[in-house]
Each structure stands twice: as structure tokens, then as C-alpha cells.
Amino acid sequence: MPASTFRFQGWSLFSLLAALVLLMTALTLALHPDLTEGVRSAIRATARSSFALFLLAFTASAFAVLVPSPLSRSLVRERRFIGLAFAFSHLVHAVLIYSYGQLNPEFWPGRTTVGNIPGSVGYVFILLLALTSFKSTARLIGGKAWKRLHVSGMWVLVAIFAYSNFKRIPMSAWYVLPFGLTCAAIAIRLVGKLAQANARRRSSSPSGRAAAPLVATDHSN
């Protein structure tokens, strides 16, 4: 197996990404003289860092199939730690939301139960995916259950990201960009799965068994 193109790998990569999230949060808070507005800005910043990390994890296997290269293969190998960094970023995001609610007493009463459902469902799946990203817990629930959970969890999360950005477009045209990126990521993932299926069919056909597969397939999620 070729060496990873990432200088940081495994837990060192996670530590780097987590440190960058914390540094970004601290700088955002420091640049705002008003603490309440600083926390509000940090909420938006961590939403963006979480979004970026999620898209990397969500599209990693598709890029490895569609654009095989040392970089795309490294993304697949480090996807677990990128996913855990996403979970950490969203944990910081949750702490900031709670802090903003403490600083601004009008925040929570202004939200509805229905409006909180997507975020609550998202956090449940993020917690489940993070807890089962370790070998011990993965073995505990079994391979089939692990795959179902991680595949369904990733699709639930991408749907929540799409919905969250789409509903904010009337408030700011800027949200067209993350909504478009989410749709593009979904398309890339689906095309990657189609390419994987075609590669499997070619390798299982009589004429393709003797030849090496053109792309490396990934069976995780």
C-alpha cells in the first residue's frame, strides 16, 4: 500500500483538525468585543467547518473510484478520523449554541419544537456514528448493522445539511453556495456508487476475471 500523502495521519490528523477548529473558534471570539455577537459568529464558523469536514468524509470513497490518485486514496484511509473531526467540530458548535442561549434569553423561546427536530436528529446520528467509529464498538454491533448505520447516517446528515441550507436561501443568497455544494456532493456520491457497481460487474464477468480492476472499490460506506 502506498504511503499516505497526508503528513498527519490517524489520531495526529484528528488532533490537528480539532486544534484548528478550536483555534478558529478562539480567534472568532477574540475578534468580537461583544461576547454575544462573538459566540454567534463562532456558531456560524463551526457550522462551516463541520460542513467542510462532512463533505470530505461523505465524498471520499466516490473520489477514490472516480479520480483514483494518492490523494483520493489517502482521503479514504483517513476518512474515519476526518469523520471524528467533523463530530468534534459539531460538538463545539453545540456548546456554542448552548452558550448563546445562556447569553441571549430570547433565543430558545424563539425556536419551535418542529424547528429543532432536524438538528436533534442530526446530533443523534452524529453521536451514533462517532461511537461506532472504533473497532470495539463496530465489532459489538456487527458488520452488517455497522454498515447500515453508517450508510443511513451519512444520508440522513447530508439531507439535513441540504434542508438547513435550502431553507435559509430566502434570508441570504449566500446559502445557495453550500446548498449547491451539498447537491454536488450527493451527485458525486451516487455516480461513485454507480462506477463501483459497474467495476464489480466487469470483474465478475468471464472476460474480466483475469484482469485487475481499474479502480479500487470501497465497501465501508
Higher per-residue confidence, 64 vs 203: 64
Domain boundaries, position 63: 11-204
- For residue 5, is it within any domain? no
Q: Determine the pLDDT at residue 113.
A: 84
| Integer CA distances (angstroms), 215 to 89, 125, 158, 197, in order | 32, 30, 25, 11
- For residue 184, is it within any domain? yes
Look-up of cell digits 439531507: 159
Query: What distance in Å separates the CA atoms of residue 212 and residue 42, rounded to the nearest whole number?
Result: 49
Q: What is the pTM of this model?
A: 0.86
- For residue 219, is it within any domain? no
- For residue 37, is it within any domain? yes
192-208: burial string, b at 16+ Cβ within 10 Å, e else: beebbeebeeeeeeeee
Q: Determine the pLDDT at residue 178.
A: 96
Q: Determine the pLDDT at residue 4.
A: 56
Higher per-residue confidence, 215 vs 131: 131
pLDDT digits (tens, 9 = 90+) for 15-40: 999 999 999 999 999 999 999 999 99
- For residue 92, is it within any domain? yes
- For residue 71, is it within any domain? yes
The structural domain count of the chain equals 1
Residue 60 DSSP symbol = H
- For residue 209, is it within any domain? no
Give the residue-averaged pLDDT of 67-79.
Answer: 91
Return the amino acid letter for 195.
A
Q: Determine the pLDDT at residue 121.
A: 95
- For residue 217, is it within any domain? no
